[in-house]
Amino acid sequence: MSANGDVRVQHLYTYFLFPFAVDKEAVAEDHPQIWMRQPQWIAGLEEWVRKLEVEFASTLVDALGPWQRAPYQRFDMDSVSYQDMVFFHPYVRRVFFDSADCWGDTADRESLLHFYHIPLDGKTLWFEAQDNKGRHARVEVMDLKLNLYANGIGTLAIGVEAWDLGVRDALWINEMMRKIYPSSRRQMREGRMPSRLAFVLEGTGCAPDRVLIEERFEEAAMVGFQPPLAKTLQALLYFADYSLREYEPVLDERMVVYTYVELAPQSLPPSYTDTEAYQQLVSLVLYVDRYAGGYRYDPRFLRQQFDRQLYQRWAHQGTYYGFTTYSNVTVCVGQFECGEHKLSEGFLIFRMYLTRYLLMAQVSLFYRATLLDFAERTALVSRRLYHDQAQAAGRIATENVRMAAELRADFLHFSNYWYFDELANKDEESEHFAMQVREYHIDTMKNEIEEEIGKLNESIHTYYQFRNTEAINRVAMLSLILGAGAVVTGFFGMNFEGRFAKTLFAETREHWLSIAFVTAFSFLAVGFGTFVVITNWADYRESLLPRWWLHRKSMTARSLKRG
């Protein structure tokens, strides 16, 4: 048996991070009473979050209360906000911190993200999971956070905590409680997916425990192209209706695991941090695997991965930080004084885990979720343009051109406002963020989407150049015809004498023939011009329709994802 079989975890704290993308057009369409009064999407969030949309979430909301806005309000040196914000660059503080306006009501200080939380003071909430093999776990929910961004991206964080448990149990908690829907019934039958997830409120006095929301996945079916999301998550996102596709997960069936694993020193053999067994345990935590007697994967492969995915600045103290596309882990042995950081002030590693590193993890996850959402929107816009060109004689609908323009504008705003290569000036924070960005492939995705949107913009620009050339040619042709008619009819106004005057102005046969010819020419010219305008109305419509009508049409644009 591996030496890890008897290892104890004296403190486990895990945030399960769930990124999702809100379909802003669909929500605005479903709730016109909110967004017809609000000039911006984010201005309506407060009212929207207070709405109870999911019926089975009412028990949870009644017991815990709704989401409450939680901006930073204190900025003195002893406050949490000061200690969180001070480690980041000033431009990051302005963008990624929801701060109450203590400087006065000015537009340039308006936050483009909202922090929310559900207070659990005086309540004990448990998160339970079990599988078909008889394994189960119960951990206390310590924190419920929700970040909503102006671009429609949201991140839900469920923080759970446990003390003094076996390493097998700690690994099982992280691996199983992150699951949010089964990939198949076989996965549940084999115990690779929980057969039950539940939020349970502990009773007080003689009152029994109360199950607030429970998911057993007895029946699971796709909702359009969206997976059968667990009721536990839908209940926490009660303000949005998943059945109406008002939001969608941007990752797979797993939430991102952001975890802190503190090993009990008394359960470890001598010089444990220098052994192969400790490397095996770190790999199981990093890759969110269940307990195994050795490495889950080939050791030679893992050693190559460790050089890229493990931050080893503090490895001599037994402390590792690790990053993958689905995990962000902190592993340490016991608690100790870190230089001048005394234990009486709180354990430094855990304090950093709860504050600056959590904020950095959420920023990097926001980048990944946003870019994945851009990838989907780019594909959907391209599909609409393809259908236009394939089915409408090469004409692109104005609504689809507007969607492409909005996509380009949104990406430009993301690149210029949200996206930063560096969040902090300190080496350790910068190196952590760089490793997570690399594992998320954020730079590669951003460059690829930027290129795709640029090519999409070029294709539309080329299309409009062609359409403009056609329009100019039509105008030139109409001008030539109408100009010729003007020249011909102008002869009637010229004061010629002699035979010419007798022919055109005297009541003779030639006079009536001239009138008939000019009249017919004028009617044909005007009729042809009307025909050209009618048959090419799409090219002239927006030039003639009033701006208020176009603005109303854009405000009632249909959802790109919902169709």
Kindly report, residue by residue over 155-194, the tens digit of the pLDDT.
Answer: 999 999 999 999 999 999 999 999 999 988 898 888 899 9
Here the tokens at position 187 are 């996965």
Instruction: State the average pLDDT over residues 252-272.
Output: 94
First to last CA, the chain: 56
pLDDT in tens, 478-527: 676 667 666 655 655 555 555 656 665 566 666 667 677 767 777 777 77
393 shares a domain with 313: no
Here the tokens at position 526 are 């005007």
pLDDT at 523: 77
Closest by CA to 463, choosing from 404, 412, 518, 546, is 404
Residues 93 and 231 sit within 8 Å (Cβ to Cβ): no
pLDDT at 555: 45
- 65: in domain: yes
Checking DSSP bridges between strand 153-166 and strand 113-117, what pairing results, if any? unpaired
Collapsing DSSP states into helix, strand and coil, what is residue 299?
A: helix
- 92: in domain: no
Q: For residue 478, give the DSSP letter.
A: H
Of 315, 336, 354, the position where a domain reaches its end is: 354
- 100: in domain: no
pLDDT > 60? residue 553: no
If one compares 395 and 240, the residue with the highest pLDDT of the two is 240
Q: What percent of the chain has pLDDT over 70?
A: 85
Q: Which amino acid belongs to residue 2?
A: S
If one compares 407 and 491, the residue with the highest pLDDT of the two is 407
345 shares a domain with 405: no
Of 291, 322, 354, the position where a domain reaches its end is: 354
- 78: in domain: no
193 shares a domain with 154: yes
**For residues 98, 103, 106 and 110, what is the CA-based torsion angle, rounded to 10 degrees?**
0
DSSP characters over 309-366:
HEE-TTGGGT-EEEE-SSEEEEEEES---BTTB-GGG--HHHHHHHTHHHHHHHHHHH
213 shares a domain with 190: yes
Give the range with max mean pLDDT: 125-129, 275-279, 301-305, 488-492: 125-129
- 272: in domain: yes
- 498: in domain: yes
- The C-alpha angle 202, 205, 209, rounded to 5 degrees, equals 25
Report d(CA 211, CA 113) in Å as an integer: 32
Report d(CA 316, CA 336) in Å as an integer: 13
pLDDT > 70? residue 458: yes
Here the tokens at position 202 are 């502990």
The rounded mean pLDDT for the chain is 85
Count of the separate structural domains present in the chain: 2
531 shares a domain with 548: yes
Instruction: State the average pLDDT over residues 8-32.
Output: 94
466 shares a domain with 350: no
Checking DSSP bridges between strand 327-333 and strand 256-263, what pairing results, if any? parallel
- 104: in domain: no
- Any idea which of 237-246, 283-292, 353-362, 382-391 has the lowest mean pLDDT? 382-391
544 shares a domain with 428: yes
pLDDT at 457: 86
- 103: in domain: no
The two counts, helices (H) then strands (E), for the chain are 20, 13
Contacts 24+ apart (CB under 8 A), 430-433: 431/311, 431/313, 432/311, 432/321, 432/323, 432/357, 432/360, 433/360, 433/363, 433/364
pLDDT > 70? residue 109: no
Q: For residue 40, give the DSSP letter.
A: S
462 shares a domain with 343: no
469 shares a domain with 340: no
Give the range with max mean pLDDT: 69-83, 130-144, 341-355, 382-396: 130-144
Residues 62 and 54 sit within 8 Å (Cβ to Cβ): no
Of 334, 354, 374, the position where a domain reaches its end is: 354
Closest by CA to 525, choosing from 485, 487, 491, is 485
Q: Which neighbouring-strand residues pair with 456?
A: none
If one compares 548 and 529, the residue with the highest pLDDT of the two is 529
> Which residue range is the domain that position 350 belongs to?
3-71+111-354
| Total-model pTM | 0.86
If one compares 504 and 289, the residue with the highest pLDDT of the two is 289
225 shares a domain with 167: yes
pLDDT at 499: 60
Closest by CA to 200, choosing from 179, 181, 214, is 214
CB atoms within 10 A of CB 126: 18
pLDDT > 70? residue 300: yes
Q: Which neighbouring-strand residues pair with 381?
A: none
538 shares a domain with 489: yes
pLDDT > 60? residue 108: no
pLDDT at 420: 94
pLDDT at 103: 47
Residues 47 and 235 sit within 8 Å (Cβ to Cβ): no
pLDDT at 107: 38
Collapsing DSSP states into helix, strand and coil, what is residue 254?
A: strand
pLDDT at 486: 67
Instruction: State the average pLDDT over residues 464-469.
Output: 73
- The C-alpha angle 49, 419, 321, rounded to 5 degrees, equals 90
- Please report, for residues 144, 159, 327, 348, the alpha-carbon distance to residue 140 in angstroms, rounded to integers and kept in the order given: 11, 8, 21, 23
459 shares a domain with 437: yes
pLDDT > 90? residue 84: no
Report d(CA 325, CA 250) in Å as an integer: 13
Here the tokens at position 10 are 């004296």
Collapsing DSSP states into helix, strand and coil, what is residue 100?
A: coil
